[in-house]
Amino acid sequence: MTIEVKVPVLGESVTEATVGEWLKQPGDAVAQDEPIASLETDKVAIEVPSPVAGVMGEHIVAVGDSVEVGAVIATVSEGGSGAAPSPSPSPSPAPAEKKADEAPAEKASESEMESLPDGSPTMSPAVRRAVLEAGVDPTTIKGTGKDGRLTKEDVLAAAKAKSGGAAPADTANAPSPAPAQGGERKEERVKMTRLRQTIAKRLKSAQDTAALLTTFNDVDMTAVIEAREKYKDVFAKKHGVKLGFMSFFSKASVLALKTFPSVNAQIDGDEIVYFDYVDISVAVSAPNGLVVPVVRNVDQLSFAGIEKAIAEYGGKAKDGTLTMDEMKGGTFTISNGGVFGGLMSTPIINPPQSAVLGLHRIEDRPVVRNGEIVIRPMMYIALSYDHRIIDGREAVTALKTIKEAIEDPTRLLIDL
């Protein structure tokens, strides 16, 4: 029995997605609820499970196609042992002699798709067609795409090397085809994912709409590093999570945002919306781009609660399991470019928020303390803000408040 696979509900106000990847190919055995496709929405990637156990049937849509909620994207044959379904015969309107002179068909038949050797690497439909049309073995080609995947150019280069006149045995033993005389210049065009398109639109919109300005300061991390080293083992044993720097900066941000409410506010039309709570969006790097899950009610959370929330979101970002609700809202953002080695940057606000705190790498630098030059672990911090709602005095003083709280963490305990 053939079962249709439909696009599931994607989240509130989300009605469309893009097919990012097929996780199962026609003829593959699938278990019930096993992911068979990955869909990309504006914010997250969602896996589509198989409704039944059986054999993967036809891909009705291709990678890169846009699909709406409820649309049929594939079929699954219920039951079976995993053998490929028998394809329906294709009509042959032209004689065989004429076919030999024609260009290869744009799409390979289902039976051709299933004739690829076992153990062949995961390939997109375009690459699979190129493999079939070129008549090459994909297992012998080294992929240059993301995560070592094959690209269409890899297949075409292998086909060109195969037809270059070398004996088959020599080609098989050669580690790679000889480079073309004068060097080879490759180009690869890859369609932007829906997530990347959304990131681009939002960031450009922030630049076009907000009056962006950035103020900088530097922070002596000595006190926080000493506190972390002193209590990290006890903290991890009691709470089951590592004590990081993000909880200190989150708490310091709460102190600044409560003192300067406009930094935690947003513009809505001709009104300013002030929040009596602090929901911090934490910028996290995911495989498909930057995502910003929201830690709610940070002003009410303990250090352990903040660290647990951030750790959980970090794991979900890597696995691609963040939900729309987990990235909705947020009144302020913290972006830590220091984990990638960034020394200084001007972060862009996350609309409709009005400010973002940028953290950077810690490095030993000479500074003056009590009239003497000493070495201290220093970090540059940056606050980008919307000048339409936040005055320079408020922004500078808010960043200075964060600096003072980090350099003297006791302030976090006595709310000073």
3-class SS of residue 193:
coil
Q: Catalytic: 387? A: yes
CA Rg, the chain, in Å? Answer: 28
pLDDT above 90: residue 1: no
Q: Which structure tokens are listed for 245?
A: 């720097």
Which CATH class name applies to 1-85?
Answer: mainly beta
Q: Name 50's Cβ contacts closer than 8 Å, sequence gap at least 6.
A: 5, 24, 30, 31, 32, 33, 34, 35, 36, 56, 76
Higher pLDDT, 333 or 62: 333
pLDDT tens for 384-410 read 999 999 999 999 999 999 999 999 998
**Helical ranges in 302-409 per DSSP H:** 303-319, 392-407
Compute CA 310 distance to the chain's CA centroid, rounded to the nearest angstrom.
16
Higher pLDDT, 408 or 198: 408
pLDDT above 60: residue 100: no
Q: Which structure tokens are listed for 398?
A: 């808010």
DSSP per residue, 282-307: E-EEETTEEE--EETTGGG--HHHHH
Q: Which helix (H) or strand (E) holds 254?
A: helix 245-259
**Alpha-carbon distance 285 to 304, whole Å?**
22
Percent above pLDDT 90 for the chain: 40
Q: Which of 20-29, 64-73, 99-108, 144-153 has the lowest average pLDDT?
A: 99-108
Q: What is the pTM of this model?
A: 0.62
For range 48-77, the mean pLDDT: 88
For range 356-370, the mean pLDDT: 95
Q: Catalytic: 360? A: no
Which amino acid type is present at position 315? G
pLDDT tens for 160-192 read 787 764 444 444 444 555 555 567 888 888 877
> Tokens 């709406």 identify what position?
68
pLDDT above 50: residue 202: yes
Q: Which helix (H) or strand (E) holds 253?
A: helix 245-259
pLDDT above 70: residue 376: yes
3-class SS of residue 273:
strand
* pLDDT recorded at residue 255: 96
* pLDDT recorded at residue 164: 62
Q: Which of 6-15, 37-46, 141-150, 311-320 has the lowest average pLDDT?
A: 141-150
Which CATH class name applies to 195-414?
Answer: alpha beta
* pLDDT recorded at residue 211: 92
What is the rounded average pLDDT for all residues in the chain? 81
pLDDT above 70: residue 101: no
**Alpha-carbon distance 402 to 177, whole Å?**
57
Q: What angle do CA 343, 346, 350 make, to 5 degrees?
A: 125
For range 28-39, the mean pLDDT: 88
pLDDT tens for 114-154 read 344 444 555 555 666 677 777 777 778 877 765 676 777 78
**Alpha-carbon distance 127 to 101, whole Å?**
23
For range 230-234, the mean pLDDT: 94
* pLDDT recorded at residue 85: 44
Would you list the domain boundaries of the chain? 1-85, 94-178, 195-414
Percent above pLDDT 70 for the chain: 79
Catalytic residue among 65, 137, 233, 391: 391
For range 34-50, the mean pLDDT: 81
pLDDT above 90: residue 108: no
Catalytic residue among 33, 387, 408, 415: 387
For residue 90, what pLDDT band results from cuts at 50, 70 and 90?
very low
**Cβ–Cβ under 8 Å, residues 198 and 45:** no
Q: Name 74's Cβ contacts closer than 8 Å, sequence gap at least 6.
A: 4, 5, 36, 37, 56, 57, 58, 59, 60, 61
pLDDT above 60: residue 28: yes
